[in-house]
Amino acid sequence: MSQTSNADQWPNIAALLDQPGGHISIGRMPPIEGAAIAINDQTLLASLVRGKGETFTDLLSRLDGAVGKALHEGIVTNDINGGRFRLAPSSIRKKR
């Protein structure tokens, strides 16, 4: 898939990644088998848990919608740990 079609399919994720500090992570985050996280600098925009039987494409589409709500309406979607997921302060996160 080309960059253009990815931006067309997931425009809010593309917009986030074009911003300084825009970042997404998708994968295993113990004990969660499938998590999708979107942040902008130090701000959580969305945290999702992959549903049973949910395809990767469906998860990305759901993440795109949640990122859009955060960017355009200020609504944070937080599905991880009953909505209690928080980013660790940058002082204690791993430095790469």
Residues 6+ apart with CB under 8 A from 77: 45, 46, 47, 48, 66, 69, 70
Does a structural domain hold residue 46? yes
Does a structural domain hold residue 85? no
Distances (CA, A) of 80 to 17, 31, 53, 76, 89: 22, 11, 18, 12, 17
User: Given the DSSP bridges, would you call strands 77-78 and 32-40 parallel, antiparallel or unpaired?
Assistant: unpaired
More confident site: 88 or 49 = 49
Does a structural domain hold residue 71? yes
pLDDT at position 32? 87
Does a structural domain hold residue 29? yes
The number of folded domains in the chain is 1
Mean pLDDT of 60-66: 97
pTM of the model: 0.81
Q: In sequence order, which ranges of the chain are alpha helices (DSSP H)?
A: 3-9, 11-18, 56-73
Instruction: Give the residue numbers spanning the domain of 15.
Output: 3-80
